Amino acid sequence: MDTITGKLEIVFRTLFCFADKFKLFSKRLKWDYLYNRGGCSVKELLSKCRSITSEKILKSEIINTILISILGILFGVLSKLLDNMSLNNDILWQRILGIVDLANIFSRLSIWALFAVGIAVFSKRPFRASVNVFGFFIGMLMGYYTITITVSGFFPKTYMIAWSIITLFTPIFAFLTWYAKGHGWLAVTLSGIIIGFFFTQAFSFGVWYIDVSYFAEVLCLVIATVLLYRDKIQLLLSLIVALTIAPLIQFCLPYIFGGL
């Protein structure tokens, strides 16, 4: 019995000694400080990623949003008119449209996502990015479905509701995209997800194969990567994230945009 008690005493002394040394070691590493730093607020995290300019010129920003919304209307009208157009190869400008394949380009998701990325990245603040992108897509839907109803003569209620719901989420996308142009791990992650999306549109891929889906979407991928470029290291890390997450995006997209 005394032998067992003596061994237990040695064990407990060893544990207490280890605990004291561990406590001293943790103080040297300043773990409490690191924890407090790691627990920073979302606002601090975002400000470290990309700082927001304090300059606010309300009048010019409102004008910019109006112009972007008008641009959305024009692109929506153009997209639907191209859908309705029967091309005649004997007419030069129509033959050029057929070669460029604008109707097909505007019917695909990448080009609209690219517009959103461009508008968001070049907005002065994340809130303005949300407003501008939302205005663009509201304008696009107005232009597209106005021509659909007045010229094409039908009312696609289901599609209008579906795309209107998706448009409601574009301010969130724009807000995050603005920070994708920033610094640090958050910007790398966000830009990687965006580039990964464009990768899924540009390429068909599986475990043992990869193939170009559509050349115009490869161009969209390149332009989006250039728009989000900050430096070489961040680009490399973003591409790694993109290639890693692309299969997951490819799996999820049919559940979001399936049938649209």
Band (153; pLDDT cuts 50, 70, 90): confident
| Residue 213 φ/ψ, nearest 5 degrees | -80, -45
pLDDT at residue 166 in the model: 92
Please state, rounded to an integer, the average pLDDT across all residues of the chain.
82
Tokens 């540009």, residue located: 202
Span 146-164, average pLDDT: 88
pLDDT at residue 260 in the model: 63
Among residues 139, 97, 121, which one has the least CA distance to residue 194? 121
pLDDT at residue 102 in the model: 83
The per-residue pLDDT for range 33-45, each reduced to its tens digit, is 333 344 567 777 8
Distance CA 46, CA 56 (A): 19
Domain ranges of the chain: 48-257
Distance CA 223, CA 114 (A): 8
More confident residue, 156 or 199: 199
Q: What residue spans of the chain are helical by DSSP H?
A: 2-29, 31-38, 42-49, 58-84, 92-100, 102-106, 109-121, 126-147, 157-168, 170-180, 184-202, 215-227, 232-257
Q: Determine how many CB atoms are found less than 10 A away from the CB of residue 115.
A: 19
Distance CA 61, CA 228 (A): 22
Band (204; pLDDT cuts 50, 70, 90): confident
Span 228-240, average pLDDT: 93
The per-residue pLDDT for range 45-57, each reduced to its tens digit, is 887 888 787 666 6
pLDDT at residue 11 in the model: 45
pLDDT above 80 for 239: yes
Distance CA 120, CA 114 (A): 10
| Residue 172 φ/ψ, nearest 5 degrees | -65, -45
Q: From residue 85, give the alpha-carbon distance in Å to each of 45, 96, 98.
A: 49, 13, 10
pLDDT above 70 for 29: no
Contact 163, 200 (CB under 8 A): no
Q: What is the CA radius of gyration of the chain?
A: 27
The per-residue pLDDT for range 63-85, each reduced to its tens digit, is 999 999 999 999 999 999 988 88
The per-residue pLDDT for range 101-134, each reduced to its tens digit, is 888 889 889 999 999 999 999 998 999 999 999 9
pLDDT at residue 70 in the model: 97
pLDDT above 70 for 7: no
The per-residue pLDDT for range 206-223, each reduced to its tens digit, is 778 888 888 899 999 999
**Helix, strand or coil for residue 203?**
strand
pLDDT above 80 for 188: yes
Global confidence as pTM: 0.79
pLDDT at residue 3 in the model: 55
Q: Determine how many CB atoms are found less than 10 A away from the CB of residue 224.
A: 27
Distance CA 53, CA 168 (A): 26
Beta carbons within 8 Å of 148's beta carbon, 6+ residues apart: 80, 154, 155, 156
Distance CA 175, CA 90 (A): 46
Band (6; pLDDT cuts 50, 70, 90): low
pLDDT at residue 14 in the model: 53
